């Protein structure tokens, strides 16, 4: 006799959507596929030797790193993060920092701690699909605030905050946003924080790309404007995603419930990896590493923009980011990126359709292209293939 497992699985779990990458299952096996769908550091920028030495050194630190430790995280790592946050304009007490298994766990812990079934969360339209995956597990509903080239539109946000029931939180990726690459302008940042305070709706700031600005002045986090902002950061984009090492900066009142949630989920993050990260980032190494990475990402972004100008049909539009990993493209004509995807796959190129970044999976003429992982020749060839696929589809 076998169980009827569909009757055992919780209703909330059965409603969870698969990863956005499931849209690509039909084309991932295409030979010589150029994959613009990802958003990670390239293999050549993963500091393998540095992490290998840091890991070896961490073993020598103390034998007790193989025991249980603080749920909030390794104190030297929390101090290092607090110093980096403070240097970016967001004065941070290490006691307000908690280490998480990537910022994705941070999203889950926030939702676990704050959201009840039916609560309303304001998100950007479009927004990071992983946040919706985390929040969906807690049966929330969404109101979508549109973004333009200057980021989240405050007037639209205020309209949503006025609606009943009042939202529980505002989720934003304000700097080099995933997926659009846009950054909320300084004037809008101040207004978004003012609205959060006026309507007593807290901001969840997801900032994986904030330190990946192209040459020029970095943009301070929203938390620099208000200590009530719940901030999420990660080493996945600056060191390596497999470390699964992120952090949260918490308002004072939320420290006990968020730490309790962390204890309930996994007790603590990996103590050994935390020590290794401290060792790897020591003596100014991380800043030098980021300088090199930023220069590379800027070159690849410029290469992609030049290829789009050269290869895509007239009327195609895109946003040129000032940092991060992504270019957001709007196709020309009566076409959706979902409909184009099979033709693109036939030509040997993959991207993420814009529908992946909305809770209702609306079909749109938009798509996300990642430039961080591919060398110049692959960027050129991939955009050439995308241009040919678009021209063929349009007839």
Is 66 within 8 Å of 85 (Cβ atoms)? Answer: no
More confident residue, 24 or 382: 382
State percent of the chain over pLDDT 70: 99
- From the list 281, 258, 320, 288, the residue with the least C-alpha distance to 71 is 258
pLDDT at 63 over 80: no
Residue 62 binned pLDDT confidence (cut-offs 50, 70, 90) = low
Structure tokens at 120: 């309303």
The arithmetic mean of pLDDT across residues 242-255, rounded, is: 98
The arithmetic mean of pLDDT across residues 126-138, rounded, is: 97
Kind of pairing, strands 246-249 and 97-100? antiparallel
Structure tokens at 225: 């404007």
More confident residue, 2 or 364: 364
48-282 is a CATH 3.40.800.10 domain: no
Q: Determine the 3-state secondary structure of 267 from DSSP.
A: coil
Q: Residue 61 has what pLDDT?
A: 74
Instruction: List for the chain the helix, strand, coil content (%; round to 5).
Output: 45, 15, 40
Phi, psi torsion values for 259, nearest 5 degrees: -65, -40
pLDDT at 356 over 70: yes
Angle in degrees, CA 337, 122, 100, rounded to 5: 90
Q: Is 118 left (phi over 0), alpha (psi -120 to 50) or beta?
A: left
| Segment 94-125, tens digit of pLDDT | 999 999 999 999 999 999 999 999 999 999 99
Is 107 within 8 Å of 264 (Cβ atoms)? Answer: no
Is 246 within 8 Å of 229 (Cβ atoms)? Answer: no
Instruction: Compute the distance between CA of residue 248 and CA of residue 359 in angstroms, rounded to an integer.
Output: 25
**CB environment 99-125: b (16+ within 10 A), e (fewer):** bbbbbbbbbbbbbbbbbeeebbbbbbb
Kind of pairing, strands 317-319 and 326-330? antiparallel
Instruction: Compute the distance between CA of residue 182 and CA of residue 329 in angstroms, rounded to an integer.
Output: 12
pLDDT at 312 over 90: yes
Query: Which DSSP category does 234 fall into?
Result: E
More confident residue, 184 or 61: 184
Sheet-wide strand order for 317-319 = 317-319, 326-330, 366-370, 352-353
Phi, psi torsion values for 351, nearest 5 degrees: -145, 175
Alpha helices, DSSP H, located in the chain: 5-8, 11-14, 48-61, 75-87, 102-114, 129-136, 154-162, 186-198, 255-266, 271-281, 285-311, 337-346, 376-394
| Segment 225-245, tens digit of pLDDT | 999 999 999 999 999 999 999
Topology classification of domain 10-39+287-394: 3.90.1150
Enumerate the CATH 3.40.640.10 domain ranges in the chain, comma separated.
48-282
| Segment 193-225, tens digit of pLDDT | 999 999 999 999 999 999 999 977 889 999 999
DSSP string, 135-146: HHTTT-EEEEEE
Enumerate the CATH 3.90.1150.10 domain ranges in the chain, comma separated.
10-39+287-394
Phi, psi torsion values for 316, nearest 5 degrees: -70, 140
Q: Is 307 exposed, middle or buried (CB count within 10 Å of its CB: 0-12, 13-18, 19+)?
A: buried
pLDDT at 90 over 90: yes
Average pLDDT, the chain: 95
Mean pLDDT is lowest, of 27-36, 196-205, 292-301, 304-313, for 27-36
Is 274 within 8 Å of 245 (Cβ atoms)? Answer: yes
How far is residue 157 from each of residues 70, 136, 196, 223, measured CA to CA in Å? 38, 21, 10, 18
Residue 373 binned pLDDT confidence (cut-offs 50, 70, 90) = very high
Q: Residue 1 has what pLDDT?
A: 62
Q: Determine the 3-state secondary structure of 301 from DSSP.
A: helix
| Segment 2-54, tens digit of pLDDT | 788 888 888 888 778 888 788 787 788 888 999 999 999 999 999 999 999 99
How far is residue 391 from each of residues 121, 340, 344, 345, measured CA to CA in Å? 39, 10, 10, 14
Instruction: Compute the distance between CA of residue 162 and CA of residue 167 in angstroms, rounded to an integer.
Output: 9
Q: Residue 14 has what pLDDT?
A: 79
Q: What is the pTM of this model?
A: 0.96
- Residues 6 or more apart whose CB falls under 8 angstroms from that of 165 comprise 120
């Amino acid at each position: 006799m076998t169980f009827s497992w569909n009757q055992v699985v919780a209703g909330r779990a059965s409603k969870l959507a698969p990863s956005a990458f499931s849209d690509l299952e039909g084309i991932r096996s295409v030979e010589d596929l150029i994959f613009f769908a990802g958003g990670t550091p390239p293999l050549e920028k993963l500091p393998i030797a540095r992490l290998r030495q840091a890991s070896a050194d961490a073993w020598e630190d103390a034998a007790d790193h193989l025991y249980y430790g603080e749920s909030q995280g390794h104190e030297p790592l929390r101090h290092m993060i607090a110093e980096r946050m403070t240097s970016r304009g967001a004065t941070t007490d290490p006691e307000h920092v908690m280490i998480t298994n990537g910022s994705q766990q941070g999203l889950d812990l926030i939702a676990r701690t704050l959201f009840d079934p039916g609560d309303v969360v304001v998100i950007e339209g479009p927004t990071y699909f992983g946040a919706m995956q985390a929040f969906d597990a807690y049966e929330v509903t969404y109101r979508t605030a549109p973004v333009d080239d200057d980021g989240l539109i405050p007037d639209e946000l205020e309209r949503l905050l006025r609606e009943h029931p009042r939202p529980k939180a505002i989720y934003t990726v304000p700097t080099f946003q995933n997926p659009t690459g846009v950054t909320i302008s300084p004037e809008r940042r101040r207004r978004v924080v003012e609205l959060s305070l006026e309507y007593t709706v807290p901001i969840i700031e997801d900032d994986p790309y904030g330190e990946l600005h192209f040459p020029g002045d970095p943009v301070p986090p929203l938390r620099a404007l208000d200590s009530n902002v719940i901030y999420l950061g990660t080493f996945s984009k600056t060191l390596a995603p497999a470390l699964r090492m992120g952090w949260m900066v918490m308002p004072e009142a939320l420290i006990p419930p968020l730490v309790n949630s962390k204890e309930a989920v996994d007790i603590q993050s990996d103590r050994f990896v935390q020590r290794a990260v401290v060792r790897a980032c020591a003596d100014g190494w991380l800043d030098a590493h980021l300088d090199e990475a930023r220069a590379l990402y800027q070159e690849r972004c410029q290469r992609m923009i030049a290829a789009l100008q050269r290869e895509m049909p007239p009327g195609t539009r895109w946003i040129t980011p000032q940092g991060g990993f992504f270019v957001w493209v709007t196709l020309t004509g009566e076409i959706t990126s979902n409909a184009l995807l099979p033709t693109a796959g036939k030509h040997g190129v993959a991207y993420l359709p814009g529908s992946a970044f909305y809770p209702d999976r609306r079909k749109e003429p938009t798509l996300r292209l990642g430039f961080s992982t591919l060398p110049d020749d692959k960027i050129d060839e991939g955009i050439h293939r995308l241009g040919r696929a678009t021209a063929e589809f349009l007839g």
